[in-house]
Amino acid sequence: MNRDNGFESQRASMVDYQLRSRGIESPLVLEAMGRVAREQFVPRRMRDCAYDDGPLPIGAGQTISQPYIVALMTEALDLEGGEKVLDIGTGSGYAAAVLGCIAGQVFSIERVQELADRAARTLVAEGFENVEVRCGDGTMGWPEHRPYDGIVVAAGAPAVPDSLKDQLAVGGHLVIPVGSEHSVQSLMRVTRLAEDEFRTENLGAVRFVPLLGEQGWS
């Protein structure tokens, strides 16, 4: 059955004009962004806006991130395919789906039960059997499946949670917005160089909802 209704061409345009033109280069990321049906991860009434160049509301005071930001954060993980990734802030499940096109396993945590349940249903319906979603405190990670080759956080933290750094594999990358609760944050990439050695890079300014939890905002 053809569900496209023009979305495939919108998706291709998004990849060309919102991603490639802004410097997204990873073939794996571009392929994943061109594959995931973003329209399935937004509220039905907003599907005509699914490929707009910006975030969209998904309920419970949360948003689905701008396509470029999803691509930027995914590319910053420097995945080669088949890795194990932790995704904090499932939201609609869209970013987890993009990660699921590249990684071997994706473990995704969402604080709001309603969103976690909806995202899990959508991911199953879209065929992402390698993505597992649970409701919980994302700042504490998912230690049962550590270590992770990549960790990505879709909410702004006051500082990089130690619990997430602890769950990162040596050589792995943690990508997280850090800064003020209600204004612009810095997108940070933390690379674990050794058991007790980390390198931190600033990838630029972003704006996300606050990361709530034991090692985030209260």
Average confidence (pLDDT) over 70-92: 98
Q: Quick check: 3 pLDDT over 50?
A: yes
Q: What separation in angstroms does the CA of 83 have from each of 7, 106, 150, 171?
A: 29, 8, 8, 12
Q: Name the pTM for this structure.
A: 0.95
Angle at 66 between CA 119 and CA 16, to 5 degrees: 115
Say what the pLDDT of residue 182 is: 77
28 contacts 79 by C-beta, under 8 angstroms: yes
Q: Which range is least confidently modeled, 2-6, 13-17, 64-68, 183-187?
A: 2-6
Say what the pLDDT of residue 43 is: 94
Q: Quick check: 135 pLDDT over 80?
A: yes
Question: 206 CB contacts (<8 Å, ≥6 apart)?
Answer: 69, 156, 177, 184, 185, 186, 187
Q: Quick check: 212 pLDDT over 50?
A: yes
pLDDT, tens digit (0-9, with 9 covering 90-100), for 26-75: 999 999 999 999 999 999 999 999 999 999 999 998 999 999 999 999 99
Catalytic residues: 65
Say what the pLDDT of residue 48 is: 95
Q: 143 pLDDT band (50/70/90 cuts)?
A: very high
Say what the pLDDT of residue 61 is: 87
Class of residue 130 by CB neighbours under 10 A (exposed 0-12, middle 13-18, buried 19+):
middle
Average pLDDT over the chain reads 95
Q: Quick check: 181 pLDDT over 90?
A: no
Q: 211 pLDDT band (50/70/90 cuts)?
A: very high
Percent over 70 (pLDDT), the chain: 98
Q: Quick check: 2 pLDDT over 60?
A: no
87 contacts 108 by C-beta, under 8 angstroms: yes
Say what the pLDDT of residue 4 is: 58
Average confidence (pLDDT) over 150-155: 97
